[in-house]
């Protein structure tokens, strides 16, 4: 299997993610000092936070530029190197939880629900130390000819799996628009991701679907539109480590969080928009012109400080995961979080603690 690619992470199968040592060198290792355009890194305010590990491996599930924007900026701008992390390696795989548990990954970025489910079912100390996204867009895209909610009566809708969160969201949207999701429409399961759902709407096999902001341009070009769109609080993606790793590498966790939050704070400043895009293009990411128009939309979903508003928001989010049977009744999410180092990083950077408590 070829395990290198130009300037970016690659997708590995589960066997490769769990394999360690010798021939098991994973992903594409890029020394921070060799990245293009180190772009004027500054001395961090928390200059005493130095990692005990000089190289870290992070598992990730999504190759999209917007998904990796913040931590790639932390790398490229030298924020990681300022904290003593000289090498940063991204391993792209859907099996980021096994990789984390197996020890081939130091940190993993993934769905909050996946970390909670894995920790609860295994009893292992899977520990989330910060959030990546704290909000999500609830969007229903419809084909040409559907102009109002009433036009959906008797029509078909898909959110992917019938038991998944996307279907749950579409049901909530229907109720917000005054429709009965059980009687006014028919839900149809579909395979593949959101791009497949868009294709089904475009070819007319489905009338409406759960879509994302980037789908607006092709949908409108085909005569369709977003019938509903709303940004809602959803602490949906997190960074996790193993409890034992955190005990042994607290300084690395602290340095990582400081660097990551510094990058987020830089990224959200409008005056840095063009440079932010150019940094990702220099790293080999593909960014269509239509995506560049989504700068504010993409950043509206990103946690600006690694946290989220309140414990109550997580309570509500977990309740939806229980309702859709992604998590069991009675799960106590707090046991899978340790925000000690997040709060310390926020303090060091002059930010309010977010959330203020658990």
∠ CA 176-117-229 to the nearest 5 degrees?
20
60/109 Cα distance (integer angstroms): 5
Confidence grade of residue 36 (pLDDT, cut at 50, 70, 90): very low
139/216 Cα distance (integer angstroms): 10
Q: Examine the domain organization and report whether 106 and 189 are in the same domain.
A: no
How high is the pLDDT of residue 46?
55
Q: Examine the domain organization and report whether 214 and 130 are in the same domain.
A: no
For the chain, the domain total comes to 2
**Residue 27 pLDDT greater than 60, yes or no:** no
Listed in sequence order, the DSSP H helices in the chain are: 14-18, 65-76, 79-82, 96-102, 112-122, 165-176, 194-202, 216-221, 243-248, 250-267, 273-282, 289-292, 295-299, 311-323, 340-348
69/294 Cα distance (integer angstroms): 13
How high is the pLDDT of residue 15?
31
97/121 Cα distance (integer angstroms): 12
Averaged pLDDT, 164-182: 95
Q: How much of the chain, in percent, has pLDDT values that exceed 90?
A: 79
Q: Examine the domain organization and report whether 129 and 211 are in the same domain.
A: no
140/254 Cα distance (integer angstroms): 39
Confidence grade of residue 62 (pLDDT, cut at 50, 70, 90): confident
pTM: 0.83
Mean pLDDT of the residues in the chain: 88
173, part of any domain: yes
5, part of any domain: no
13/25 Cα distance (integer angstroms): 14
51, part of any domain: yes
**Residue 7 pLDDT greater than 60, yes or no:** no
Confidence grade of residue 5 (pLDDT, cut at 50, 70, 90): very low
Phi and psi angles of residue 194, each rounded to the nearest 5 degrees, phi first: -65, -30
342/345 Cα distance (integer angstroms): 5
Q: Examine the domain organization and report whether 164 and 187 are in the same domain.
A: yes
Q: Examine the domain organization and report whether 311 and 252 are in the same domain.
A: yes
Lowest mean pLDDT of 42-46, 48-52, 54-58, 276-280, name the range. 42-46
Q: Examine the domain organization and report whether 241 and 343 are in the same domain.
A: yes
230, part of any domain: no
Averaged pLDDT, 179-204: 95
Q: Examine the domain organization and report whether 122 and 251 are in the same domain.
A: yes
List, for residues 111-144, the tens digit of each pLDDT value. Answer: 999 999 999 999 999 999 999 999 999 999 999 9
Q: Give the domain extent around 343.
A: 14-135+235-348
Averaged pLDDT, 220-231: 97
**Neighbour count for residue 103 (Cβ, 10 Å):** 13
Sheet architecture: strand order including 156-158: 28-31, 87-92, 55-60, 107-111, 225-242, 126-142, 208-210, 156-158, 186-187
Helix axis angle for 65-76 and 250-267, nearest 10°, is: 110
Q: Examine the domain organization and report whether 38 and 120 are in the same domain.
A: yes
Q: Examine the domain organization and report whether 116 and 245 are in the same domain.
A: yes
39/183 Cα distance (integer angstroms): 56
Domain finish residue from 190, 223, 256:
223
CATH number at 24 reads: 3.40.190.10
Averaged pLDDT, 23-48: 42
Q: Examine the domain organization and report whether 126 and 45 are in the same domain.
A: yes
**Residue 344 pLDDT greater than 70, yes or no:** yes
8, part of any domain: no
Is the alpha carbon torsion for 197, 202, 203, 204 positive or negative? positive
Domain finish residue from 223, 243, 263:
223
Domain finish residue from 154, 189, 223:
223
Q: Examine the domain organization and report whether 186 and 332 are in the same domain.
A: no
4, part of any domain: no
How high is the pLDDT of residue 264?
98
251, part of any domain: yes
Comparing 6 with 355, the larger pLDDT belongs to 355
Comparing 31 with 55, the larger pLDDT belongs to 55
Q: Examine the domain organization and report whether 30 and 128 are in the same domain.
A: yes
Q: How much of the chain, in percent, has pLDDT values that exceed 70?
A: 87
């Amino acid at each position: 299997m070829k395990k290198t690619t130009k300037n970016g992470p690659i997708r590995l199968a589960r066997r490769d993610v769990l394999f360690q040592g010798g021939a098991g060198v994973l992903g594409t290792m890029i020394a921070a000092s060799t990245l293009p355009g180190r772009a004027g890194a500054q001395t961090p305010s928390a200059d005493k936070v130095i990692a005990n590990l000089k190289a870290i491996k992070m598992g990730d599930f999504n190759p999209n530029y917007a998904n990796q924007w913040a931590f790639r900026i932390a790398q490229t701008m030298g924020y990681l190197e300022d904290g003593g992390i000289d090498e940063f390696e991204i391993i792209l795989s859907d099996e980021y939880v096994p990789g984390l548990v197996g020890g081939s990954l130091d940190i993993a970025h993934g769905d909050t629900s996946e970390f909670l489910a894995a920790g609860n079912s295994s009893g292992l100390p899977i520990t989330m130390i910060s959030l990546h996204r704290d909000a999500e867009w609830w969007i229903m895209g419809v084909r040409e000819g559907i102009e109002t909610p009433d036009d959906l009566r008797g029509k078909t809708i898909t959110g992917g799996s019938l038991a998944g969160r996307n279907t749950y969201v579409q049901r909530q949207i229907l109720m917000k628009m005054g429709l009965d999701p059980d009687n006014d429409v028919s839900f149809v399961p579909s395979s593949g991701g959101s791009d497949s759902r868009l294709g089904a709407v475009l070819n007319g096999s489905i009338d409406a679907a759960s879509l994302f902001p980037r789908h607006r341009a092709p949908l409108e070009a085909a005569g369709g539109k977003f019938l509903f769109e709303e940004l809602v609080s959803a602490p949906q993606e997190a960074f996790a480590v193993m409890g034992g790793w955190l005990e042994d590498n607290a300084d690395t966790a602290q340095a990582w969080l400081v660097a990551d939050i510094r990058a987020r704070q830089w990224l959200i400043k409008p005056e840095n928009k063009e440079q932010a895009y150019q940094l990702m293009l220099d790293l080999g990411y593909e960014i269509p012109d239509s995506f560049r128009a989504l700068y504010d939309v993409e950043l509206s979903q990103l946690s600006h400080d690694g946290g989220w508003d309140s414990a109550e928001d997580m309570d509500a989010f977990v309740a939806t995961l229980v309702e859709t049977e992604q998590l069991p009744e009675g799960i106590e999410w707090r046991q899978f979080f340790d925000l000690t180092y997040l709060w310390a990083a926020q303090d060091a950077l002059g930010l309010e603690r977010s959330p203020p408590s658990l």
